């Protein structure tokens, strides 16, 4: 195992218990090394492929780092990270940092074209992956280091240069209004101060068990991964299928004795519903951190009724990728359930300053809404390779630190706390992901048969927000021609991550325009029923229940028509091809289980989400014994 140059062992040991003591140049890698020395035999990572101690993860990441250096990776490079939800995700990102490089996390579920684009745009020198995922990044002209072909431990193949705290640690991509995502580089120092600044609020330590629930490409994972590793805690890597199932995830929380949980409000709402039905509770939970999207405290009413507001503590943290994950802190208490007003986001982190400004850029008084500007050492330097966009969103303004223009509307309340009101632009949040409609619109209008298009959110209730594309065909198009066009647009959207794909495509003769000639999004929302359509589209017949003596398949079809808000559902049509989302899938399963008195989990559809497949599972679950024959419709 390689040694650390630079500060002494004593300094590093102190840094384990006090992040700031290592000085501004302390790096995540050095802090991790110090933790690994202090707790070598403690389990660092629990994953599907086993449990690994700090010493084992440290040694394994050394081997991967040596392989990266042998592949030509040098300090300052960017390295892609495209791996499954296993221990290799943690060892891989540590290895990249040990080379002095920054990791570029990529969601292995994203389309191959998107993955290759990310590698090109980031200028990645290499990519850490595995043999089963290597095909997805093939043709990207970067060297691959395949985790499954490397030994678990052994001496590194090259000297590992220690990174500095000022070096970039990762580059995470967010949706871009110009049609392309934008990369946000964040440094070691910015992540370290995130935890040193919040330690008095949370008191994280070596006895904590964390889950990494989110994709590594979502910056909430930065908080999850480093929150465990920098404090000597245990990190439980949640398998993909478990993350998709609230019931399975709830059972994991109980079985692994998780103490620190991090969720978007929409995900936590489903988890809370599973908790209400579960035979046992996650009794070891002491802290639940909510973030990534707007919190409505009233959605926590049932949870607090069962568990109270003290253990676990519920904390709402407003954040933005450009300000290093989290920027504010707010305990959520029982009294908040009956409070009116904006979503409470609390106070800025200790080293950040919030400025609320009007359209003229001047400060506004307390109680008056304005746009939030964040100042402090957590703010990124800008966007990777996007000079003009960086100039628009980032400035110094004579301040000691960078200032970020967030695009979020907030209000400073009389008690010094802040409330979140929404966006000043078209950007939206879907299941925690930032979505710039312009990115999707640019893709759709690239089709030669599309004259113009607009993409807006539609709320179907229970946090089920989906994207709707309004399309104006080029020239005249008969219904059959438009249906063909929609099929081609769905294929085009298949090159986007799932959260960016429209669920429906509605034809218009022309987009409504403002007096300035821009798309009138307010008018489009009015066409869609003010953006809230939980009961189905008005332009389709009402989706009534199935007939009293309907077959299993007919009853499930009726549920799908209502939940998906579509007229026709073929037995072999895929749920997601019909416009479903991961959250819609959960809603559908809740209704199916309620209708049939079953307790099926979404994992039964792992091989394909169709009415026919689900009907066979419902019949099997409802049968008095395993020998009961299936109904004729499924033969």
pLDDT in tens, 434-454: 788 888 888 898 899 898 888
Which two three-digit tokens encode residue 112? 């191959």
Task: Label residue 465 exposed, middle or buried (CB < 10 Å: 0-12, 13-18, 19+).
Answer: buried
Backbone angles phi, psi at 20, to 5 degrees: -75, -15
pLDDT in tens, 210-220: 999 999 999 99
Are residues 591 and 624 located together in one domain of the fold? yes
pTM here is 0.82
Are residues 565 and 523 located together in one domain of the fold? no
**Domain's final residue, options 478, 512, 527:** 527
Percent of the chain with pLDDT over 90: 53
pLDDT in tens, 242-300: 998 999 999 999 999 999 999 999 889 889 989 999 999 999 999 999 999 889 999 99
Q: What span, in angstroms and rounded, lies between the C-alpha atoms of 69 and 58? A: 16
Q: What span, in angstroms and rounded, lies between the C-alpha atoms of 27 and 23? A: 9
Q: Bridge-partner residues for 313, per DSSP? A: 287
Are residues 610 and 560 located together in one domain of the fold? yes
Answer whether 599's CB lies under 8 Å from 278's CB: no
Residue 291 preceded by cis peptide, ω within 30: no
Distances (CA, A) of 604 to 248, 324, 592: 12, 37, 13
Please check the confidence at residue 163 and state whether its pLDDT lies above 80.
Answer: yes
Confidence of residue 481 (pLDDT cuts 50, 70, 90): confident
Q: Which H helix or E strand runs over 1?
A: none
pLDDT in tens, 101-123: 999 999 998 999 999 999 999 99
Query: What does the pLDDT read at residue 375?
Result: 96
The CATH number that applies at residue 454 is: 3.30.300.30
Tokens 């799932």 sit on residue: 498
**Domain membership flag for residue 25:** no
**Domain membership flag for residue 353:** no
Query: What does the pLDDT read at residue 605?
Result: 77
Are residues 514 and 567 located together in one domain of the fold? no
**546-570 average pLDDT score:** 83
Please check the confidence at residue 2 and state whether its pLDDT lies above 50.
Answer: no
Are residues 568 and 624 located together in one domain of the fold? yes
Are residues 441 and 523 located together in one domain of the fold? yes
The CATH number that applies at residue 574 is: 1.10.1200.10
For the ranges 72-81, 251-260, 424-433, 617-626, the lowest mean pLDDT is seen at 617-626
Answer whether 519's CB lies under 8 Å from 512's CB: yes
For 376-439, the DSSP string reads: STTS-S--TT-HHHHHHHEE-TT-SS-EEEEEEEEEE-TTS-EEEEEESSS-EEETTEEE-HHH
Please check the confidence at residue 432 and state whether its pLDDT lies above 80.
Answer: no
Are residues 465 and 514 located together in one domain of the fold? yes
**Domain membership flag for residue 331:** no
**588-596 average pLDDT score:** 86
**Domain membership flag for residue 403:** no
**Domain's final residue, options 510, 527, 544:** 527
**Domain membership flag for residue 253:** no
pLDDT in tens, 492-530: 998 888 888 998 898 888 888 777 667 888 888 877 654
Are residues 566 and 502 located together in one domain of the fold? no
Tokens 């004795």 sit on residue: 257
pLDDT greater at residue 390 or residue 443:
390
**381-409 average pLDDT score:** 90
Give the 3-state secondary structure percentages of the chain, helix then strand then coil, rounded to 5: 35, 20, 45
Please check the confidence at residue 603 and state whether its pLDDT lies above 80.
Answer: no
617 closest CA partner among 554, 603, 548: 603
Please check the confidence at residue 206 and state whether its pLDDT lies above 70.
Answer: yes
pLDDT in tens, 300-353: 999 999 999 999 999 999 999 999 999 999 999 999 998 888 999 999 999 999
**Domain membership flag for residue 520:** yes
Query: What does the pLDDT read at residue 3?
Result: 31
Residues in CB range of 446: below 8 A, 6 or more apart: 492
Percent of the chain with pLDDT over 70: 88
The domain total for the chain is: 2
Are residues 518 and 561 located together in one domain of the fold? no
Query: What does the pLDDT read at residue 242?
Result: 93
Q: How much is the mean pLDDT over the chain?
A: 86
Which two three-digit tokens encode residue 52? 């690994």
Please check the confidence at residue 544 and state whether its pLDDT lies above 60.
Answer: no
Are residues 514 and 563 located together in one domain of the fold? no
Tokens 């509307």 sit on residue: 409
Q: What span, in angstroms and rounded, lies between the C-alpha atoms of 133 and 240? A: 15
Confidence of residue 55 (pLDDT cuts 50, 70, 90): very high
Q: Is 348 left (phi over 0), alpha (psi -120 to 50) or beta?
A: beta
Neighbours of 491 (CB within 10 A): 10
Backbone angles phi, psi at 80, to 5 degrees: -70, 150
For 464, the domain range is 436-527
Handedness of CA 227, 232, 234, 235 (dihedral sign): positive
For helices 28-38 and 188-202, give the axis angle rounded to 10 degrees.
50
Query: What does the pLDDT read at residue 530?
Result: 43
**Domain membership flag for residue 584:** yes
Confidence of residue 158 (pLDDT cuts 50, 70, 90): low
**Domain membership flag for residue 515:** yes
Helical spans, DSSP H, in 569-628: 582-596, 611-622
Are residues 458 and 523 located together in one domain of the fold? yes
């Amino acid at each position: 195992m390689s040694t650390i140059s630079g500060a002494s062992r004593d300094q590093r040991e102190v840094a384990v218990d006090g992040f700031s003591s290592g000085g501004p140049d302390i790096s995540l890698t050095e802090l991790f090394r110090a933790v690994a020395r202090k707790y070598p035999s403690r389990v660092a990572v629990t994953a599907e492929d086993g449990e690994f101690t700090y010493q084992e993860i440290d040694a394994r990441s050394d081997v991967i780092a040596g392989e990266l250096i042998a592949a030509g990776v040098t300090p300052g490079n960017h390295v892609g990270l495209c791996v499954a939800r296993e221990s290799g995700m943690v060892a891989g990102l540590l290895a990249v940092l040990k080379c002095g490089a920054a990791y570029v996390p990529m969601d292995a579920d994203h389309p191959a074209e998107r993955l290759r684009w990310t590698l090109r745009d980031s200028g990645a020198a290499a990519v850490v992956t595995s043999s089963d995922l290597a095909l997805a990044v093939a043709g990207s002209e970067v060297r691959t280091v395949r985790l499954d072909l490397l030994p678990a431990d052994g001496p590194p193949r090259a000297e590992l240069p220690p990174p500095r705290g000022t070096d970039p640690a990762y580059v995470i991509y967010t949706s871009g209004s110009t049609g392309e995502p934008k990369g946000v580089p964040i440094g070691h120092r910015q992540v370290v101060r995130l935890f040193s600044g919040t330690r008095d609020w949370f008191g994280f330590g070596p006895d904590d068990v964390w889950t990494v629930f989110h994709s590594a490409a979502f910056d909430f994972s930065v908080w999850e991964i480093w929150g465990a590793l920098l404090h000597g805690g245990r990190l439980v890597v949640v398998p993909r299928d478990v993350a998709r199932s609230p019931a399975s995830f709830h059972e994991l929380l109980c079985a692994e004795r998780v103490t620190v949980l991090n969720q978007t409000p929409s995900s936590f709402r489903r988890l809370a519903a599973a908790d209400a039905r579960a035979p046992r509770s996650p009794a070891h939970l002491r802290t639940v951190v909510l973030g990534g999207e707007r919190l409505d405290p009233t959605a926590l009413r049932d949870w607090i009724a069962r568990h109270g507001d003290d253990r676990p503590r519920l904390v709402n943290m407003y954040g933005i990728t450009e300000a290093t994950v989290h920027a504010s802190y707010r305990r959520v208490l029982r009294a908040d359930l009956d409070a009116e007003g904006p979503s409470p986001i609390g106070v800025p982190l200790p080293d950040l300053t919030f400025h609320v400004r009007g359209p003229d850029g001047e400060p506004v008084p307390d109680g008056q809404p304005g746009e939030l500007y964040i100042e402090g050492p957590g703010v990124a330097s800008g966007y990777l390779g996007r000079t003009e966009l960086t100039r628009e969103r980032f400035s110094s303004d004579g301040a000691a630190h960078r200032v970020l223009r967030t695009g979020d509307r907030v209000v400073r309340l009389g008690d010094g706390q802040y409330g979140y009101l929404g966006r000043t632009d078209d950007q939206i949040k879907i299941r925690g992901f930032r979505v710039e409609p312009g990115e999707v619109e640019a893709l759709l209008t690239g089709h030669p048969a599309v004259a113009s298009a607009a993409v807006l959110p539609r709320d179907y209730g229970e946090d089920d927000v989906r994207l709707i594309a309004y399309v104006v065909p080029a020239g005249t198009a008969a219904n059959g021609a438009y249906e063909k066009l929609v099929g081609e647009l769905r294929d085009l959207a298949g090159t986007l991550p799932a959260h960016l794909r429209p669920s429906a495509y509605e034809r218009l003769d022309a987009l409504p325009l403002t007096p300035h000639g821009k798309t009138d999004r307010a008018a489009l929302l009015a066409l869609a029923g003010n953006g809230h359509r939980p009961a189905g589209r008005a332009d389709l017949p009402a989706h009534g229940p199935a007939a009293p003596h309907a077959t299993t398949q007919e009853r499930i079809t009726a549920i799908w028509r209502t939940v998906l808000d579509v007229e026709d559902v073929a037995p072999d049509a895929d749920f997601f091809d019909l416009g479903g989302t991961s959250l819609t899938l959960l809603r559908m399963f809740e209704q199916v289980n309620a209708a049939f008195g079953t307790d099926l989990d979404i994992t039964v559809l792992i091989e394909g989400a169709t009415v026919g497949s689900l009907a066979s599972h419902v019949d099997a679950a409802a049968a008095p014994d395993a020998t009961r024959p299936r109904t004729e419709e499924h033969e």
